[in-house]
Amino acid sequence: MSKNPKSLILVFIQFATLGIIFATGSVLARNPLLLGLESLGICLEIWAILFMCRQSKLQVTADVAPGSHLVISGPYRYIRHPMYVGLMLISVSLLIDQFSYLRALICIILWIDLLVKIDYEEKLLKDYFKEEYTYYQSKTHRLLPFIY
């Protein structure tokens, strides 16, 4: 487990905001279209986790575990942070399905946390994998293919 305070704080915020979102409404969207979007997010999460576990070391913190390998296949072939995209799809589906100002605020906090975590994680990955990660960055998008 990471002893890096920044990593721990970012993970705490991530899980706390997800917990609040899940506690303030249904865990599954009731609207069929939103349930489909949420399901897409869940599937992306599972796909990304399976590839990460199979090829490297999965961690919830942004820290790079010693002996890690850069995963560039599966969903990572297209986007560098598919797990975060999955969380964003899940949270926005639940927000729209059962909107409240509290949930909107919590989603904003979650998304800001994930964006900060991405920036921090990419710095750590670049330090660990050097040119290999820089090349990977040039060939993929952070979150949305062809956009960002």
Q: What is the pLDDT, as a whole number, of residue 132?
A: 96
Q: Where are the domains of the chain?
A: 5-57+69-139
Instruction: Identify the CA nearest to 119 among candidates 138, 93, 137.
Output: 137
Q: What is the pLDDT, as a whole number, of residue 97?
A: 98
Q: What is the pLDDT, as a whole number, of residue 146?
A: 60
Q: What are phi and psi of 43, to 5 degrees?
A: -65, -40
- Which residues of the chain fall short of a pLDDT of 70? 1-2, 145-148
Q: What is the pLDDT, as a whole number, of residue 147?
A: 66
Return the percentage of the chain with pLDDT > 90, whole number.
Answer: 80
Q: What is the pLDDT, as a whole number, of residue 57?
A: 77
pLDDT in tens, 113-145: 999 999 999 999 999 999 999 999 999 999 876
- Threshold 0.85, pTM exceeds: yes
Measure the CA angle with vertex 70, ends 140 and 118; round to 5°: 60
Q: What is the pLDDT, as a whole number, of residue 144?
A: 75
